[in-house]
Amino acid sequence: MQEETELKLSLPFDQADRLKRHPIIRDLKSGRARTRRMMGTYFDTEDLFLKKRDLSLRVRESDNRHIQTLKRVGSASGGLFVRDEWEHEVPGATPDVMLIEDDDVRKSLAKLNGTAALQPIFETDIKRTAWDLADGETTIELVLDIGEVRSPDGASEMICEVELELKSGDPKRIFDIALALNERIDCTVGHVSKSDRGYALCNRTPPAAAKAEPVILSRRMTVWEGFVEICNGCLAQLRANESIARDAQDPEGIHQTRVAIRRLRAAFNIFRKVLPESDRRYFAQELRWLQQELGKARDLDVFILETVEPLCFRLPDDNSLADLAKRAQAGRRTASRRAQKVLRSRRYGRFLLMLERWCLFPDHEFAVTGLDRSIGRFAKHSVRRSEKKLLAFGKHLDLVDDAQLHAVRIQGKQTRYCVEFFASLYPKPAVRKHIKALSALQDCLGGLNDGVVADKLLARFGRGRNPIDDSARAYVVGWYAARICGERRQLGKIWPRLVKQDQYWD
């Protein structure tokens, strides 16, 4: 058995030639480039026995040889794929699982009754160009894969990606080389393996947007370990929704991508006093940029789905609303293209590489800022401080204006993320009750922000020689005015639930 440590980068096809001429390859390559065509067939049972056990089985034909590879699928450490793999040469295109030496794997595969139940699931046809890079005591194989994955029914997906596989030495150098590549070519971190692409292609079901999974912390963790675990959870949600948002498959993809970004921003804010300032400032800046860029598409999604379409449904013959809907849809298409461009951009790729490298290979002194202390005490102070900031608004809640209500909403969201991050350290019933109250507050005040955004969108659509009809503007303003009045009344019922929360964190 071998352990594969690999970082994958995705890049547009028009960047492939630029990659081949990149100075990092010229300066570090050892020997000549090797180019070959590789035909691979992936096997599984009809009910996907292997996939359900996080295994992938492939027989690849290259240079008149057939190499069988079984991999344990998964990404164990941020953007690095760290996987067990078993590789054997076989006489032909049929796999032989009995060649696997690992006892646990053999026991699992024994249920297959040999290879009789296995069948071809999908194929890959790849042109691979490989370079060996020698950097001091570290050796890395850099490969450029261009080709496609094909399902038996003729569906296919094109592939253009780079793989950096550690052969020996320091794994941090993988990120250093990836960042050097990123300086000259448009590339970002790739999170989808060829086997995942193939299974998705066969499934023919569009991927669904993913909500955040619970963060599991232990009181034995240090503050830094807790922070990294929280970041990894946010990055997992970002990775799960990135392709959906990038391909504009579902408006929920953009929404959940922005949720992941907001949660990352909240994490950096909660831990701001213990993180190195220069690093924290860079990541906070990039996260703010991402949220703003993706926010334009999300704002229009909400405006169309929750305001324009309901109004048009109720007043189907109103020409002013039909015109507003047309302008909003045009704006949505423009904002969507912008979001897609951002998620394919070099800047976004650099942000991901920097963050994942920083989490895996920190170079700061933990004791200086307190990152080596226990997470338990830090969590207690963080939840207490965030809750205190939120409840401070309640002193004059009946008198606050819309701008102050917006501040309540923002702090409520910050407090909710803080409680969710540290939830595993406290009794479940108390935390669940707290999160429920915070979620109700967030939902209650949601219309306030939507109304502010709607005003800005109306102003934007009304620019130029063709202003928005006054009646359409009046419909939208009235729609939100009624909603905000209702939410103000509801706030009076929700706030006492927050005030009466048990202080379980103490």
**pLDDT tens digits for range 440-497:** 999 888 877 788 888 888 888 877 667 788 888 898 888 888 777 777 788 888 888 8
3-7, 11-15, 447-451: least confidently modelled range: 447-451
- Asked whether residue 76 carries a pLDDT value surpassing 60, the answer given is no
- Asked whether residue 383 carries a pLDDT value surpassing 80, the answer given is yes
Give mean pLDDT, residues 390-398: 82
DSSP secondary structure of 41-94:
EEEE-TT-TTGGGTEEEEEEEETTEEEEEEEE----BTTEEEEEEEEEEESSSS
- Asked whether residue 206 carries a pLDDT value surpassing 90, the answer given is no
- Asked whether residue 213 carries a pLDDT value surpassing 80, the answer given is yes
User: Average pLDDT over the chain, rounded to whole?
Assistant: 89
Res. 300 pLDDT band, cuts 50 70 90 = very high
* CA 378 – CA 425 distance, rounded (Å): 11
* Cα–Cα nearest to 126, from 41, 29, 18: 41
What pLDDT, on the 0 to 100 scale, is given for residue 78? Answer: 57
Contact between 347 and 275 (Cβ < 8 Å):
no
Q: Convert 268-301 to b/e letters by CB count within 10 Å (16 or more is b).
A: bbbbeebbbeebbeebbebbeebbebbbbbbbbb
* Cα–Cα nearest to 156, from 204, 226, 92: 204
**pLDDT tens digits for range 35-71:** 999 999 999 988 888 888 888 999 999 888 999 998 8
Give mean pLDDT, residues 415-442: 95
* Cα–Cα nearest to 51, from 25, 70, 24, 76: 70
- Asked whether residue 225 carries a pLDDT value surpassing 90, the answer given is yes
- Asked whether residue 167 carries a pLDDT value surpassing 80, the answer given is yes
What pLDDT, on the 0 to 100 scale, is given for residue 389? Answer: 93
Percent of the chain past pLDDT 70, that is, above it, reads 96
What pLDDT, on the 0 to 100 scale, is given for residue 163? Answer: 95
DSSP secondary structure of 262-327:
HHHHHHHHHTTTTS-HHHHHHHHHHHHHHHHHHHHHHHHHHHIIIIIHHHHHHSTT-HHHHHHHHH
164-178, 451-465, 492-506: least confidently modelled range: 451-465
What pLDDT, on the 0 to 100 scale, is given for residue 113? Answer: 63
What pLDDT, on the 0 to 100 scale, is given for residue 451? Answer: 81
- Asked whether residue 112 carries a pLDDT value surpassing 80, the answer given is no
Q: Which domains does the chain have, with CATH numbers?
A: 2-203 (2.40.320.10), 223-499 (1.40.20.10)
Contact between 126 and 145 (Cβ < 8 Å):
yes
The pTM of the whole model exceeds 0.85: yes
| Tokens read off for 74 | 């998964």
Highest mean pLDDT among 229-243, 390-404, 450-464: 229-243
| Tokens read off for 466 | 């063709």
Percent of the chain past pLDDT 90, that is, above it, reads 61
| Tokens read off for 438 | 């915070």
Res. 74 pLDDT band, cuts 50 70 90 = low
